[in-house]
Amino acid sequence: MRSKPNILVTGTPGTGKTTTASAVAEAANLRHINIGDLVKDKKLHDGWDDQFQCYILNEDLVCDELEDIMVQGGNIVDHHGCDFFPERWFDRVVVLQTENSVLYDRLTKRGYSGAKLTNNLQCEIFQELLNEANESYKAEIVVAMKSDTVDDMNTNVATLTEWVRSWSSTS
């Protein structure tokens, strides 16, 4: 039995995954694992995708790299996808959602354009990541959280931090 839970924070790029996960990690004393950074730093990819300007993630290499760490517990992982992670790894799966005009502004500030911008906006409109989370994990551990404003983020961080504290005391 893990002494601390594992949390996955997922959502469309620009919804605040890394910011939220980092703040929860600090507040709840969890290890923050940013999958994008991990893939780049440990070369857990199959090359570069020129169209979408990102690494082509090798899911098997990522899972192999994380297995021992996840078994220990006390991790908060952030990534825009979730269906390839083993279900047993996570005690809570958080899907951050952002209103489309807010998301558009965030992504264009990051320099997203063309197919990359359009695909990410459509992903959010059709709630693809919430659907993916619901299909990949038990319904009782999946929670959608609004992430439009700094106030939303602060509320989400407080809610998740309190959840970690209550999980620890009941496990």
In the predicted structure, residue 30 carries a pLDDT above the cut 90: yes
In the predicted structure, residue 134 carries a pLDDT above the cut 70: yes
State residue 51's pLDDT score. 82
Nearest to 143, CA basis, from 133, 153, 132: 133
State residue 144's pLDDT score. 98
State residue 151's pLDDT score. 98
Instruction: Spell out the residues 6+ positions from residue 5 whose beta carbon is closer than 8 angstroms to its own.
Output: 73, 74, 91, 92, 164, 167, 168, 171
Domains of the chain: 7-163 (3.40.50.300)
